[in-house]
Amino acid sequence: MKGALGLLALWIAWAALHSLLMTPAAKAWSRRLLGRGFAFYRLGFNLLALATFASAALLAPRLPEPVYVLSPPWSWAGRLLQALGLGLLLWTFLVIDGREFLGLRQVRDFFLHGHSPDDSGERPTRLTVSGPYALCRHPMYLAGFLVLFAEPGMTLEHLLFSLFAGGYFLLGSVFEERRLVRAFGDAYVQYQRRTPRFFPLSFPRKVVERGPSKRAGP
């Protein structure tokens, strides 16, 4: 019991740090501090998130007790779902600007063109509503669900982490959609109405990108 609570406490601490660095206040403070160097913010954020995630994974208590172990053909089905999740993740990166998501494009543009801090990639400039985003509004999170929960050999440690990650995905999607509504206004509200949050109910169509809605807030 103590090990399970310790594991959850560690991941909650990581999530709190990760979420804090994503707040508008933290980004505004970083923009003032870094000036034009704010172009490095996205890349630095991702590297810090990766380093702290790896540290948390190393420090987390080991809970190898099996919850269940699937045998063939159910284990094959689990691996297939995990492969589909990885494929969905790759598809999503191919549709969006993966270099911008990672922060690499911002750094390249800084050295090539000396772009201003507003070109850090922190302000969404286009809304993709088809491809994997026609399946659901958060295909990356859906990919995470498939990879985590389709594990054929589920240990207590893996289950607790999966439940934590699933809750974090849900909470993150709420705050992310608030930001997108502010950025795109009615265009995103209509997209919310016709597209499920996580679980797909339609097939993808041609990729369509839209700029911010004229009714979007500042």
Task: Return the structure tokens found at 195.
Answer: 């597209």
Q: Per-residue pLDDT for the chain (218 aa), expressed as one digit of tens each? A: 677 888 888 888 888 888 888 888 888 888 888 888 888 888 998 999 999 999 888 888 888 899 999 999 999 999 999 999 999 999 998 888 778 888 888 888 888 876 554 544 555 667 888 889 999 999 999 999 999 999 999 999 999 999 999 999 999 999 899 989 988 999 999 999 999 999 886 554 444 444 454 444 44
pLDDT at 213: 46
pLDDT at 206: 46
Q: In angstroms, rounded to a whole number, what is the distance separating the alpha carbons of residues 130 and 33?
A: 37
C-beta separation of 213 from 181 below 8 A = no
Task: Return the structure tokens found at 133.
Answer: 């985003």
Tracing tokens 């994974």 back to the chain, one arrives at 57
Global pTM value: 0.81
pLDDT at 203: 53
Beta bridge partners of 153: 69
Q: In angstroms, rounded to a whole number, what is the distance separating the alpha carbons of residues 117 and 133?
A: 28
pLDDT at 214: 46
Tracing tokens 């295909």 back to the chain, one arrives at 139
Q: In angstroms, rounded to a whole number, what is the distance separating the alpha carbons of residues 105 and 115?
A: 11
pLDDT at 122: 56
C-beta separation of 25 from 31 below 8 A = no
Tracing tokens 């999966």 back to the chain, one arrives at 162
